[in-house]
Amino acid sequence: MTALIGDELGPRGRRRVLVGSVVASLGVAALVVVAIQRFADRGQLDAEKWSILAEPAVVGFLLGGLANTVKAAAAGMVGAVTIGAVMALGRLSRNRPVRWLAASYVEFFRGFPLLLLILFSAFGLPRLGVRLPLFWYLVLGLAVYNSAVLAEIFRAGILSLDRGQREAAVAVGLTDGQAMRLVVLPQALRDVIPANVGLFIALLKDTSLGFFVQYEELLRRGQLTGNFDGNLLQALIAVAVMYIAVNMALSRVARRLEVRQRRRYGGSIEVKGGPEDLVAPETAARKENVGV
């Protein structure tokens, strides 16, 4: 099986994307104008309703929520990368039970709703005697859920590499494990960095689900601010602007990383074959000789 990830669009495809983008932008602009007009008609744009958001104490409170959001996302990403790398190696193992267990883990948690996973962590673990700060319940849910996604990203990155690199490493005396750890895995991780940044953006937004377990991330602090002065809509709009600003900055970083990767190492990731393509050359030769 051969699959290309990130193929370049042709002229017709680019025209369609451009037309679609223009139409969507005009539609969004029209909706924004209508919404602003409705807000103005109902007094929601009055200065006194927004003035509290400029107070230093409130700004600091919301920025603290943003810091909590980033910390939870970063910790969740570290956990997801660690577990995802292990699961990716398990998916590529020549040991069938290990491969089956890793595949079961990936398929199960990819289909499991993230909110339920966070709620199970927050309300299920204490019943088992495991009591943690709210921060870690959120991080655990984010790490486990996103590790299943990252496992497939890492697996695609590993399979995209030329099999000859692994074979050359084995030929110079490295074991299969050393070849994977020292030669294959570092290159695969480098190739999937842009995808990982994109996943981090999604993970950052998913931290808002910490609202349901009372973790004081950005959305929760926005709600507390709105409840304090009775202007919840204004507080939530401020929170949305902060989310959008952070995510746009991260999206720009992801695009720059992707462009740099493309310039330095060439085209898109090409995924070929499966675990059988990781077999050492002498093993493959024996299989051919016996007609397997």
- Flag whether 264 is in a domain: yes
Mean of the pLDDT values across residues 64-86? 95
> What domain range includes position 145?
57-278
The residue-averaged pLDDT of 100-105 equals: 95
- Sort 265 into a burial class: Cβ within 10 Å, 0-12 / 13-18 / 19+: exposed
Average of per-residue pLDDT values in the chain: 83
Q: What is the pLDDT of residues 13-41, one digit of tens each?
A: 888 888 899 999 999 999 989 988 887 88
* Total of domains in the chain: 1
* 32 falls within a domain: no
Residues 72 and 217: beta-carbon distance below 8 Å: yes
Buried b (16+ CB within 10 A) or exposed e, 68-97: bbeebbebbbebbbebbbebbbbbbbeeee
Supply the pLDDT for residue 52: 84
Using one digit for the tens of pLDDT, what is the confidence trace for 195-245? 888 889 999 999 999 999 999 999 999 999 988 888 888 899 999 999 999
pLDDT > 90? residue 143: yes
Answer yes or no: is 292 within a domain.
no
Does residue 1 belong to any structural domain of this protein?
no
150 inside domain: yes
> For residue 126, what is the domain's CATH number?
1.10.3720.10
List beta partners, residue 2: 272
Give the confidence band of 7 by pLDDT, cuts at 50, 70, 90. Answer: low
Which of 1-15, 37-51, 172-186 ranks highest by mean pLDDT? Answer: 37-51
Query: What's this model's pTM, rounded to 2 decimal places?
Result: 0.75
Q: With respect to residue 3, please indicate whether it lies within any of the assigned structural domains.
A: no
Spatial CB neighbours of 206, under 8 Å, sequence gap ≥ 6: 73, 114, 142, 145, 146
